[in-house]
Structure 1
Amino acid sequence: MNAALRRIITGAMAISLAAPLAACGNGNDDTGAHQESVGLLLPENKAARYEAFDHRIIESRISTLCLQCTVEYRNAGAQVDVQKRQFQALVKKGVKVIILDPVDAQAAKSWVDEAAKKGVKVIAYDRLAEGDVAAYVSYDNEKIGQLQGKGILDALGSQAANADVVMLNGSPTDPNAPSFKKGAHDVLDHKVHKIVYETDVPEWSAAEAEKDLKTVIKDRGTAGFDAVYSANDGMADGAAAALQSAGMKDIPLGGQDAELPALRRLVNGTQSFTIYKQVRPEAETAAEIAFRLLRGKSIASFTSTTADSKSKTGIPAKLFKAQIVTKDELKDTVIRDGVVPVDWLCTKDVAAACKSLGLD
């Protein structure tokens, strides 16, 4: 092939490849030819939901809304300093909207305020970051705590008034944890005999929760408490392990997040309930707000209420409702909604129990 012919063919190929790319730039309210980015900073990877659901759903929704947008995603691995560097790198790169689920809400204040002064819009996601955030998307966390308290009472039944309860609360750096704790106390206080042990578990660590509960069992004996409140399913995993190693059965144990291992524990009877928070509406709403802020549009239709942090009041917010899930509600919640396929839930070790629940 001579050089002239090669140039003609190469030019024709370039035009044919460029044409569909140019056409793609005209969809979904995109009018500019430049690429834009939305930052997404999630706090840790111990909870399965962040990688499996939040990241995937937010990225998918933004790509649907904005063909030219990309999502700059980072996970801090529960390290505040790592998240700070990730956040500041996005600002330096010129990202104008950041969805932030903070490792430490208070520590994030200085970064958020500095970014806001540069015109960066920060959406506090799932946890309310301190500072000048533009919007907040989460669940009503005090009501979640109340649901958890109710779940413990329901599991104890007629024994509740005489029951001693252990409380494993969430991480002291998570702004949601005090709300869960307050809500749970609102329900449990004066309804159970006594809270015999209570602690805040750093970084929501399952290992620390297991260690704490083993200490309680050692100090009080296997008859020393009647139920365990765990602020989330990850810590409930550690609590369940501690109960099992001590040979303690039929101890009411609650969690939160509807994680797959917890759902299996519901089936086999080693966990009494979890709290189901539908991730999709929360994640998709955050993506919608991010897109509208990127375009300078109103977010009023997506923020039906307001929230207050220690540093800012009247933050436009959307707070979703959660629900208790026991083994009897699995079919009409997480399975119906496609969160967990039956074949993922009903592995060989819980197959018989699944069959008895009509889940096979």
Structure 2
Amino acid sequence: MKTLSTLVSSISAITLGMLSGSAMAAPSGTVAFLMPDQASTRYEQHDFPGFKATMSKLCPDCKVLYQNANADVATQQQQFNSVIAQGAKVIVLDPVDSTAAASLVHLAQSQGVKVIAYDRPVPSTPADYYVSFDNEGIGRLIAQSLVQHLKDTGVPTNKGGLLEVNGSPTDAAAGLIKKGIHSGIASSGYKTLAEYDTPEWAPPKAQQWVSGQITRFQSQIVGVVAANDGTAGGTVAAFKAAGVNPVPPVTGNDATIAGLQLIIAGDQYNTILKPSETVAAAAAKVAVGFLSGQAAKGETTLFNTPTQLFTPMVITAKNLKAEVVDKGFASGKTLCTDRYAEGCKKLGITN
């Protein structure tokens, strides 16, 4: 299995270039890591462990505070105020509400606290840094991958169309993914039957909406562009509950264990592999740089904020073994449980 230290080492050459100065001292200080929700399992399983591991390596005397707002804006406001009161000098913020987060950025900066926007940007005011995967690129990639699959399998463009299950309307990253999806299907010839912005990225809400669209459009639905693995799972559940077999191809994003297993089972067409530890490690490096009094330089600028974007990879059944299992991002033992064992056998994945 690929360890966190291996992932951290693999991006060192890139992220060290973001920091001014030739050497980075290991200061002491308090850094907060504030995540938005628990519906996405990645934060506890990948993002925070990756962030903590890199902080421990670069700044063993630093104190790391972790909070998750569970999709509640008021809770995140309280957590933000709390970590400032506890002496945080750098806050890594993945906002519940990207618009409401502007006031948090202003509050922190007025007290000399640096804010690193993480995964989701804060469009209306400049943070001190923004680090993420290329969210617009993710939307475009999953949509283009689905479109190509439909064409390769001979699905006509003039019979039916696509559903689009977007992310949370309060999440600016979801807006970027949505923009990418639109561009990915714009010239495909396939029309969008309907689309939905899923509150809080909640899979049950995605499932409920898709269930209504199945009743409305029935066999006209030739595919679904879902913005992450959670909404994809809700989408697949809706088709299963309606007795649709096979399920039309469904996209995803995040390469969660559940999403990968749905691909193995043939119920989900693709996902996006974006090891969150990579972005978390980059955020930790920038945070330590801020504690050292160094300015962070981005590879680009988004929302008037120095920005570092990482490029993700599309995963389908064709490359899941080579890119996910063989490279140690998930093991056959984890993926090939119970009903997924037969699918793993077909893909050559062993425990």
TM-score by length of 2: 0.88
Aligned counterparts, 1:265-344, within 5 A:
265-300=262-297, 303-308=298-303, 313=304, 315-344=305-334
Match of 1:141 in 2: 135
CA drift at 1:275: 1.1
CA drift at 1:160: 5.0
Match of 2:100 in 1: 107
2:157 partner SS: helix
Indicate yes or no: 2:116 matched with 1:119: no
Offset from partner CA, 1:203-245 (integer Å, 9 cap, x none) = 1110011100111112223x13111111110011110001111
Task: Determine the C-alpha separation between the residues in 1 that align with 2:40 and 2:252.
Answer: 12
Amino acid of the residue matched to residue 304 of structure 1? E
- Contact 1:207-1:238 at 8 Å conserved across structures: yes
CA drift at 1:340: 1.2
- Contact 2:25-2:292 at 8 Å conserved across structures: no
Structure with the bigger RCO (C-alpha within 8 Å, sep 6+) is 2
Match of 2:201 in 1: 204
Task: Determine the C-alpha separation between the residues in 2 that align with 1:75 and 1:233.
Answer: 20
Offset from partner CA, 1:337-357 (integer Å, 9 cap, x none) = 322111000112111221111
Task: Determine the C-alpha separation between the residues in 2 that align with 1:44 and 1:278.
Answer: 18
Structure 1, unpaired ranges of 5+:
1-27
Task: Determine the C-alpha separation between the residues in 2 that align with 1:350 and 1:280.
Answer: 26
CA drift at 1:297: 1.6
Match of 2:17 in 1: none
Amino acid of the residue matched to residue 328 of structure 1? K
Match of 2:14 in 1: none
Task: Determine the C-alpha separation between the residues in 2 that align with 1:190 and 1:131.
Answer: 33
Q: How many residues align?
A: 322
Match of 1:358 in 2: 348
**Are the structure 2 counterparts of residues 279 and 325 from structure 1 closer, same or farther at C-alpha, using a change threshold of 3 Å?**
same
- Contact 1:63-1:70 at 8 Å conserved across structures: no
Task: Determine the C-alpha separation between the residues in 1 that align with 2:112 and 2:156.
Answer: 53
Match of 1:262 in 2: 259
**Which of 58, 69, 85 pairs up with 1:65?**
58
**Which of 148, 165, 169 pairs up with 1:168?**
165
- Contact 1:164-1:192 at 8 Å conserved across structures: no
Task: Determine the C-alpha separation between the residues in 2 that align with 1:110 and 1:337.
Answer: 41
- Contact 1:113-1:132 at 8 Å conserved across structures: no
1:47 partner SS: coil
Match of 1:152 in 2: 146
- Contact 2:239-2:247 at 8 Å conserved across structures: no
Structure 2, unpaired ranges of 5+:
1-23
Amino acid of the residue matched to residue 325 of structure 1? I
Indicate yes or no: 2:29 matched with 1:36: yes
Task: Determine the C-alpha separation between the residues in 1 that align with 2:213 and 2:95.
Answer: 31
TM-score by length of 1: 0.86
- CA-based RMSD of the aligned residues comes to 1.5
CA drift at 1:323: 1.3
Match of 1:242 in 2: 238
- Contact 2:206-2:235 at 8 Å conserved across structures: yes
1:338 partner SS: coil
Task: Determine the C-alpha separation between the residues in 1 that align with 2:325 and 2:335.
Answer: 9
Amino acid of the residue matched to residue 43 of structure 1? P
Offset from partner CA, 1:234-270 (integer Å, 9 cap, x none) = 0111100011111211411001000111101101100
Task: Determine the C-alpha separation between the residues in 2 that align with 1:324 and 1:271.
Answer: 13
- Contact 2:162-2:225 at 8 Å conserved across structures: yes
Task: Determine the C-alpha separation between the residues in 2 that align with 1:337 and 1:70.
Answer: 32
Amino acid of the residue matched to residue 97 of structure 1? V
Task: Determine the C-alpha separation between the residues in 2 that align with 1:40 and 1:337.
Answer: 28
- Contact 2:117-2:129 at 8 Å conserved across structures: yes
Match of 2:38 in 1: 45
Aligned counterparts, 1:19-34, within 5 A:
29-30=25-26
2:162 partner SS: strand
Amino acid of the residue matched to residue 321 of structure 2? K
Match of 1:188 in 2: 185
Offset from partner CA, 1:267-305 (integer Å, 9 cap, x none) = 1100000111121221100000000001102323xx222
Q: Kindly, what percent of the aligned residue pairs are identical?
A: 37
